[in-house]
């Protein structure tokens, strides 16, 4: 059975992993006959958002690993434990956690940096030529992992696409129900909720992406 590592970034679209994207990813992996193991860095979230009001709750602090465990139903491991040799592929769902906790792309754009532990984990898959999929805003990490010239997408938003281009990516516009693939780097990206107006729309691109990811595993 093909084994997929999934890196989460918290729990909630505005300060962690986008829950629909994360669950759709896990569902697609399972329905395709593969297995998954969730991981998350054991670090503090950048901030906590009240998802009812949209306001920052400055009196709260939450841990990315602890919050990600909500999505994984407790079956999750510290990212420090991820051994890329034991997995066939990697997936990073989106949500602002990818741009606030796994990196600071949300605040610094093309001047961003990735959390060192996240970068090391992603680069192990890249260096081993194992396929990886980045969803929604997570593709902002792709040029920092794979280097200049790598092909990726965040959908069709010109301003965000420009930041990816400044990071060194070859950005390609992509509709919500499709994905973009860099065959040389073996990395796939899909817009999901960068464009999706519903969970059904997000599911189309994610399911196609996961199916392609599994096809790319030798």
pLDDT tens for 133-153 read: 999 999 999 999 999 999 999
Q: Residue 168: give the domain boundaries.
A: 3-215
The domain tally of the chain equals 1
The token duo for 86 is 């034991």
**Distance in angstroms (rounded) separating the CA atoms of residues 130 and 188:** 11
Q: Looking at 11, 122, 136, 174, which residue is catalytic? A: 136
pLDDT digits (tens, 9 = 90+) for 89-122: 999 999 999 999 999 999 999 999 999 999 999 9
**Distance in angstroms (rounded) separating the CA atoms of residues 169 and 153:** 9
Q: Is 11 a catalytic residue?
A: no
pLDDT digits (tens, 9 = 90+) for 42-97: 999 999 999 999 898 988 999 999 999 999 999 999 999 999 999 999 999 999 99
CATH number of the domain to which 20 belongs: 3.40.50.880
Of 151, 145, 87, nearest to 118 (Cα)? 145
Number of C-beta neighbours around residue 214 at 10 A: 19
């Amino acid at each position: 059975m093909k084994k997929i590592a999934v890196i989460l970034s918290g729990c909630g679209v505005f300060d962690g992993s986008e829950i629909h994207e994360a669950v759709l990813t896990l569902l697609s992996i399972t329905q395709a006959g593969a297995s998954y193991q969730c991981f998350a860095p054991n670090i503090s979230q950048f901030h906590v958002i009240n998802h009812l009001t949209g306001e920052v709750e400055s009196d709260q602090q939450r841990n990315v690993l602890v919050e990600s465990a909500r999505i994984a139903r407790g079956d999750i491991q510290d990212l420090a434990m991820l051994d890329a040799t034991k997995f066939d592929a990697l997936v990073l769902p989106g949500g602002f956690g990818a741009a606030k906790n796994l990196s600071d792309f949300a605040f610094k754009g093309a001047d961003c940096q990735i959390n060192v532990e996240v970068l090391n984990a992603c680069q192990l898959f890249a260096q081993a030529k194992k396929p990886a999929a980045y969803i929604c805003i997570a593709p902002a990490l792709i040029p920092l992992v794979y280097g200049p010239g790598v092909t990726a997408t965040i959908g069709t938003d010109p301003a965000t696409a420009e930041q990816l281009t400044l990071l060194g990516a070859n950005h390609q516009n992509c509709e919500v129900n499709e994905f973009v693939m860099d065959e040389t780097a073996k990395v796939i990206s899909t817009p999901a909720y960068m464009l999706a107006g519903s969970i059904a729309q997000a599911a189309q691109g994610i399911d196609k992406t996961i199916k392609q990811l599994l096809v790319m595993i030798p």
